[in-house]
């Protein structure tokens, strides 16, 4: 029997990640793009989603009303690539309307996450929060967790484009938190208050670089007796996020409750 296509709405469809997702979802045979949401004040409200994304017209107009859009289109999943202040409200609307949210933007507090988890469980639905959709970055964290117990110290250098407002990045913070649970020995910092030593997260140093021309890179450097080991991940363009986005859309359908991190969907 032929499987039904998964019906997807993109919130923030006119943005950079939104447009990349429009291109990736329309190219996938098992997925159907059914709607796109933009900010109320956007000039492109009412414009064709395909034309906004630089591909052929799709006959789907950019809307500014999430609730109306998901009820009208009977969407299964909503992919949110907007801004931290919008994602909690969007996720609540989605869950209330029977749609599974996939949140790509960071900014949810622990209280927000608990509330959304409770709602998803109550409604027998699911929600995915994925601070990083690049499968390489997820694997980098998994590898770092494996290596941590064999070294005396670790520091993280993350490099991002100059439009990124938060520092350190969500991925660097997550890496530090995960490693700190495993790192047994800690190398001694002789001048911990020196400004050039970066930020401290869970006792692990993170150094943030912001420059035009860079998208998103991270290096995790372990140091031990007479040796060092580096794991490096480079995101070269936004298409790097799309295999993870498509995987998330396909897998969220059969899940229940809150899933935090793409790694929980990898085999
Ligand atoms: P962007 O180009 O600024 O796109 C964001 C879009 O969302 C803009 O078109 C914006 O409209 C729109 N928007 C803002 N508030 C909205 C709302 N309430 N309802 C509907 N649309 C709204 O940014 P981007 O580079 O695509 O990144 C989007 C988000 O994804 C950011 O939070 C970023 O950190 C995150 N991100 C996540 C990953 C990951 O792997 N998880 C990767 C890259 C980026 P206006 O311009 O009119 O405000």
| Per-residue tokens: 89 | 């409200």
Whether residues 90 and 152 share a domain: the answer is no
pLDDT score recorded for residue 223: 95
Rounded Cα gap, residues 103 and 245, in angstroms: 10
Whether residues 88 and 165 share a domain: the answer is no
Number of structural domains in the chain = 2
Kindly give the distance from the C-alpha atom of residue 12 to the centroid of ligand 1, in angstroms, as a whole number: 5
Residues identified as active-site:
160, 164
Where does the pLDDT of residue 186 fall: very low under 50, low under 70, confident under 90, or very high at 90 and above?
A: low
Whether residues 120 and 93 share a domain: the answer is yes
**Which residue in the block uniquely carries the two structure tokens 């990640």?**
17
Give which of 241, 182, 180 is closest to 206, Cα–Cα: 180
pLDDT score recorded for residue 249: 98
| Per-residue tokens: 156 | 């993280």
Give which of 75, 83, 85 is closest to 36, Cα–Cα: 75
Query: What percent of the chain is helix, strand and coil (3-state, nearest 5)?
Result: 35, 25, 35
Whether residues 249 and 176 share a domain: the answer is no
Residue closest via CA to ligand 1's atom 35 equals 105
Kindly give the distance from the C-alpha atom of residue 57 to the centroid of ligand 1, in angstroms, as a whole number: 22
Residue 76 pLDDT more than 90? yes
Kindly give the distance from the C-alpha atom of residue 175 to the centroid of ligand 1, in angstroms, as a whole number: 23
Range of the structural domain that residue 106 is part of: 6-129+239-265
Residue 215 pLDDT more than 90? yes
3-state SS, residue 36: strand
pLDDT tens across 146-164, in order? 999 999 999 999 999 999 8
Whether residues 108 and 155 share a domain: the answer is no
Q: Which atom of ligand 1 is nearest to the CA of 89?
A: 18
Cβ neighbors of 70 (< 8 A, separation 6 or more) are 9, 35, 78, 93, 94, 97, 99
Residues 53-82: what's their mean pLDDT?
97
| Per-residue tokens: 265 | 């969907």
Kindly give the distance from the C-alpha atom of residue 83 to the centroid of ligand 1, in angstroms, as a whole number: 5
How far is residue 149 from each of residues 172, 226, 228, measured CA to CA in Å? Answer: 18, 16, 13
Q: Is residue 106 part of a domain?
A: yes
Whether residues 176 and 205 share a domain: the answer is yes
CATH code where residue 192 lies = 3.30.360.10
Cβ neighbors of 213 (< 8 A, separation 6 or more) are 161
pLDDT score recorded for residue 241: 97
Substitution candidate for ligand 1 out of 19, 20, 39 with most atoms within 8 A of CB: 39
Question: Residues enclosing ligand 1, CB less than 6 A?
Answer: 11-12, 14-18, 37-39, 42, 81-83, 86, 104-105, 130-133, 241
**φ, ψ dihedrals at 237, nearest 5°:** -155, 170
pTM of the predicted model, to two decimals? 0.90
Whether residues 149 and 85 share a domain: the answer is no
């Amino acid at each position: 029997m032929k499987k039904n296509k998964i019906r997807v709405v993109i919130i923030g469809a006119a943005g950079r990640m939104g447009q990349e997702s429009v291109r990736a979802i329309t190219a996938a045979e098992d997925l159907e793009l059914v709607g796109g949401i933009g900010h109320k004040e956007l000039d492109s409200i009412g414009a064709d989603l395909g034309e906004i994304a630089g591909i052929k017209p799709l006959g789907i107009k950019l809307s500014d009303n999430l609730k109306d859009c998901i009820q009208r289109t009977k969407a299964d999943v909503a992919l949110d690539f907007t801004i931290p202040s919008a994602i909690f409200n969007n996720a609540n609307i989605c869950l209330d309307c029977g749609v599974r949210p996939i949140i790509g933007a960071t900014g949810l507090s622990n209280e927000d996450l608990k509330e959304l988890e409770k709602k998803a469980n109550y409604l027998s639905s699911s929600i995915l929060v994925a601070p990083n959709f690049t499968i390489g970055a997820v694997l980098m964290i998994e590898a770092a967790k494996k290596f941590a117990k064999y070294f005396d110290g670790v520091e993280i250098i993350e490099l991002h484009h100059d439009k990124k407002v938060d520092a350190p990045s969500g991925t660097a913070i997550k890496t530090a938190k995960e490693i700190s649970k495993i790192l047994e020995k800690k190398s001694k910092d002789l001048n911990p208050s020196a400004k050039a030593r970066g930020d401290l997260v869970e006792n692990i140093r993170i150094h943030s670089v912001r420059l035009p021309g860079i998208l998103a890179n991270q290096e995790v450097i372990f140091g031990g007796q007479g040796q060092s080991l580096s794991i490096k991940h480079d995101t070269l363009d936004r298409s790097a996020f799309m295999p993870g986005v498509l995987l998330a859309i396909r897998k969220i359908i059969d899940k229940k409750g809150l899933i935090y991190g793409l790694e929980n969907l990898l085999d």
